[in-house]
């Protein structure tokens, strides 16, 4: 007898985030736009499943955020994306995106970790908010979905930036640095760790492989035990 596998529904924000966002942000209208996007482009939106769009917020409640890692938008292959920045729901190196491979290379140098799984959900469960600035990507579109998500993303980042607890911001590339600047993330309560984007081979900022941020972020947070970066 076959057993039906229940797929978690992350198509809406959990209350822990929705209730904290400003009321001027019309979430119902945003949901309607996303629903229409998936209806109009079946199979041509990343992540592939509408129910994955807000996964990051379900796995990492606002009160639990200890680290922020910012991406730009979901992987262009819908099957590679599942609602967490840089994460991929699979095991092994076959098909692993270059950026994720570079992140894992940095982990090896920093902590001697060699992850097999490409799924970063364990990080999210431990308080690492894996946030893309745009939560959707239209396959073949001439323009990214960033503008559609701009107000939402800013409101989310402002909430995190206002937290009184320590938060480590791992900012990879100019896009992530500019986003953090836009909500005035400082090194007063929080700490910024800036690197080049994982895909970069040369940049004005230290490459992930040259200056890994994982141990430094854990030391800043000062938790005992230190944040577990395995997955």
Break the chain down into helix, strand, coil percent, rounded to 5. Answer: 35, 10, 50
- Residue partners of 70: CB distance under 8 A and separation at least 6: 85, 131, 132, 133, 169, 170, 171, 172, 175, 176, 179, 180
Cβ atoms within 10 A of the Cβ of 7, count?
Answer: 9
Cα 227 from Cα 65, distance rounded (Å)? 12
Q: Active-site residues: which are they?
A: 73
Q: Hunting for tokens 């893309």 — which residue is that?
A: 132
- Residue partners of 2: CB distance under 8 A and separation at least 6: none
């Amino acid at each position: 007898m076959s057993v039906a596998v229940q797929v978690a529904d992350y198509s809406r924000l959990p209350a822990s985030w929705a209730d904290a966002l400003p009321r001027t942000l019309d979430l119902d209208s945003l949901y309607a736009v996303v629903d229409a996007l998936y209806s109009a482009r079946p199979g041509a939106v990343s992540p592939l499943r509408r129910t994955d769009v807000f996964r990051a917020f379900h796995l990492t409640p606002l009160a639990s955020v200890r680290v922020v890692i910012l991406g730009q938008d979901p992987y262009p292959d819908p099957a590679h994306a599942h609602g967490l920045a840089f994460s991929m729901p699979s095991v092994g190196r076959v098909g692993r995106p270059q950026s994720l491979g570079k992140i894992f290379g940095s982990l090896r140098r920093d902590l001697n970790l060699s992850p097999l799984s490409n799924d970063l959900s364990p990080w999210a469960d431990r308080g690492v908010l894996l946030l893309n600035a745009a939560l959707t990507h239209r396959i073949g579109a001439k323009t990214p979905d960033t503008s559609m998500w701009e107000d939402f993303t800013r409101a989310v980042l402002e909430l995190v930036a206002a937290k009184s607890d320590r938060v480590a911001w791992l900012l990879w590339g100019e896009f992530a640095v500019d986003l953090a600047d836009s909500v005035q993330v400082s090194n007063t309560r929080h700490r910024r760790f800036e690197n080049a984007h994982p895909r970069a081979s040369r940049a004005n900022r230290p490459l992930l492989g040259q200056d890994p941020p994982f141990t430094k972020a854990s030391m800043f947070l000062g938790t005992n035990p230190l944040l577990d970066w395995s997955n």
